[in-house]
A and B are shown apart, each in its own frame.
Chain A
Amino acid sequence: MKSFAALKRNIKKPASGLKRIRVGVLGDSSTQLFTQALKGYGYEAGLDLDLHEAPHDQIELQVFEPESGLYKAKPEFIILFCSVQKLREKFYRTDLAEKKNFAESHIRWIESLYAVLLKKIPVQIICLNFPELNDSVYGNFSNKTELSFVYQLRKINYRLMQLSSELKSLSICDVCSLQGYYGKKFIFDSTTYFRSDMVFSIAFLPFIAKNICDIVLSVCGVFKKCLIMDLDDMIWGGLIGDDGMENIQIGDLGAGKSFSEMQMWIKQLKQRGIILAVCSKNNELTAKEPFEKHPDMILHLDDIAVFVANWRSKAENIQYIRRTLGIGFDSMVFLDDNPFERNCIRDLIPQITVPELPENPGDHLDFLQTLNLFEMASLSLEDGTRTQYYLEETRRSVVSGKYPDEHEFLKSLHMVSHIEPANKFNLPRLSQLSQRSNQFNLRTIRYTEEEIGTISQAADTVILSFTLNDKYGESGIICLVILKKKNPDTLFIDTWLMSCRVLNRRMDCFTLNAIAKVARVNGIKNLTGEYIPTHQNSLVRDHFFNLGFVQTDGSWTLDMQTFEERPCLITALNTNWDKNQALIFSLRGQGVFL
């Protein structure tokens, strides 16, 4: 980690090419050095943070005063930085009889700040939780009485988690965990605190700054989707090719245990939606053997979406993995115990994250967990089954080789799609698609769950969600379309994005037919669309052209009066979907559909 001084030097560098984000900082203690660290770390994270730092200890004034500097700064993120020292002071000033309600009243206060802020501006609030602080007033007995600070402090941290799981725009920056790892002696310095009212040590500032930037990035849709791992001395000890399956280290004891724990962690990542891939220099059969036969293996072949074991260069193989999965290098993490392989990949594919690893395998897991590689901003029920999709996809592509005629192949898939307006069930996945899709994304406008919820209520907007299932399995929700009525005759395609795992299935034609249906039930004459190029979406450069749209100064138009349904081999699962009143403008307005 770079030092605070190094981060401060970053600030003098030009911020060109960094993503500009407006951030408000509200603190009840001194935040100046904290703000500098944040700004400086932004450069490391590709963020040009435009920070508005509220004056010292003015949280309420800034939030409740409608004309405050905070609102003028129009922040996209607000950091709510309450210190445990101020909290303790407040607790001590609370009457004994009221102390047991202390946590609840703090939570109500946070709720009220949230409500006022969100009513005024669409913003993501990052609230720091509290580091543990045992004031030794009750000793261990503090765990037995609601009257102790320790009790109320832990309750607040717990209630903050509850609150943030209910409130979409509230993220928690887990200072408590950071202190758990680095220790109070490291994160706090009494001289700094008593001289400047700054509750974190200078040495700790880069770490908290990183943590906050991690959250900002994930909310902005920058996060990891895939873990590519080496095998020998990474997920088991020893070399499978040399030592043989009986002699690799894995299991309950000694060195083997560290590898087992690594596998358990990786398995948990997979369950929460990280795609796993293997990239190993080995013969394929040898490399797969433990996965199939070793009784202590925790990872199995069906946990691995792409398994590559051969003698080609790892850079080549990782490129193959990327092509197979259809995701960007910047969403991948590559784990390898070999410094040579790590450096090779860093040189050849700089976008990929390659953590440096401690030499001792026993330290690998602990170290990796401090890096917070897999920050995330939203969770959907489908995350856990993502690997399954990719495995099915691999099967589909094998079958596809058997059909010389694409039409016959698509027909054999028996594809069905479920079309729906946005509702509270599909909202998490739709926003996740909006955050994640880079390649098949015409305008790459990112929407949070909160925002999609809001626009789905707008009188001039309809949102369509599509699933795609076939005889091999369910792909779940894979396409999002947002349509805005520009005028009585024109419907603008604000958003059209699709998961790349359903490419080449004529889902684009099916989607267009559905959009046309919505246009027709609303008496719309023209569809218009726009392609905004990014460095990742050249795939859809000719999308509108291919679908028969005509280009006129930058935008694409399709005449609905002459439009004919495009042939595709997908059937709508719910036949009356287009009768849903959420899709018909004249029936909207007063209704609440979510």
Chain B
Amino acid sequence: MLSKRIYLKEMDRDSVLKQINEIFIDVIDNKELLITDETTARDVDGWNSLTHIELVDAIENHFRIRFTLNEIGQWKNVGQIIESVLSKKK
């Protein structure tokens, strides 16, 4: 399970990407999945509207943050998810 939680100061972009990658692996259930800033839902088999809800839920729980509906609605790729996470952990 995703129990390792990393807090404010140690947080950098790479580390957030790695952690979000782990969350994707867990939710999409694909151990080989490798995501980058540019990855979009189209690139990932199994990233659909349903799993998206799970991803949001899992990312929120993991980083102990809460996204607004508008933030979620504006994401175009993984990079923007990371931006949202970082902006809340500043």
Cβ–Cβ contact A196 & B49, under 8 A: yes
Report A-chain residues with C-beta under 8 Å of the C-beta of B50: 32-33, 196
Report A-chain residues with C-beta under 8 Å of the C-beta of B53: 33, 191-192, 195-196, 198, 202
Q: Does A8 contact B (CB under 8 A)?
A: yes
If over half of A's interface residues share one DSSP class (helix, strand or loop), that class is named, otherwise mixed; here it is helix
Instruction: For chain A, give the interface size range.
Output: 10 to 19
Q: Does B86 contact A (CB under 8 A)?
A: no
Give the nearest-CB partner of B27 in chain A.
A5
Q: Does B57 contact A (CB under 8 A)?
A: yes
Among A5, A12, A194, point to the contact of B26 (Cβ < 8 A).
A5
Q: Does B72 contact A (CB under 8 A)?
A: yes
Report A-chain residues with C-beta under 8 Å of the C-beta of B67: 191
Cβ–Cβ contact B57 & A191, under 8 A: yes
Considering the chains assembled together, what is the distance between the CA atoms of A12 and B29 in angstroms?
Answer: 10
Considering the chains assembled together, what is the distance between the CA atoms of A195 and B55 in angstroms?
Answer: 12
Report B-chain residues with C-beta under 8 Å of the C-beta of A3: 1
Give the nearest-CB partner of B67 in chain A.
A191
Report A-chain residues with C-beta under 8 Å of the C-beta of B27: 5
Report B-chain residues with C-beta under 8 Å of the C-beta of A198: 53
Considering the chains assembled together, what is the distance between the CA atoms of A194 and B67 in angstroms?
Answer: 12
Report B-chain residues with C-beta under 8 Å of the C-beta of A5: 26-27, 29, 54, 58
A2 to chain B: closest CB distance in Å?
10
* B side interface size, CB within 8 A: 18
Considering the chains assembled together, what is the distance between the CA atoms of A196 and B69 in angstroms?
Answer: 11
Report A-chain residues with C-beta under 8 Å of the C-beta of B12: none
Report B-chain residues with C-beta under 8 Å of the C-beta of A395: none
**B residues 47-90 in Cβ contact with A at 8 Å:** 49-50, 52-54, 56-58, 60-61, 66-67, 69, 72
A207 to chain B: closest CB distance in Å?
15
Top 10 nearest A-B pairs (CB, nearest first) are A202-B57, A196-B53, A5-B26, A194-B69, A192-B53, A32-B50, A195-B53, A202-B54, A9-B29, A191-B56
Q: Does A132 contact B (CB under 8 A)?
A: no
Give the nearest-CB partner of A4 in chain B.
B54
Considering the chains assembled together, what is the distance between the CA atoms of A591 and B18 in angstroms?
Answer: 74
Among B52, B57, B69, B72, point to the contact of A201 (Cβ < 8 A).
B57
Give the nearest-CB partner of B49 in chain A.
A196
Report A-chain residues with C-beta under 8 Å of the C-beta of B72: 191, 195
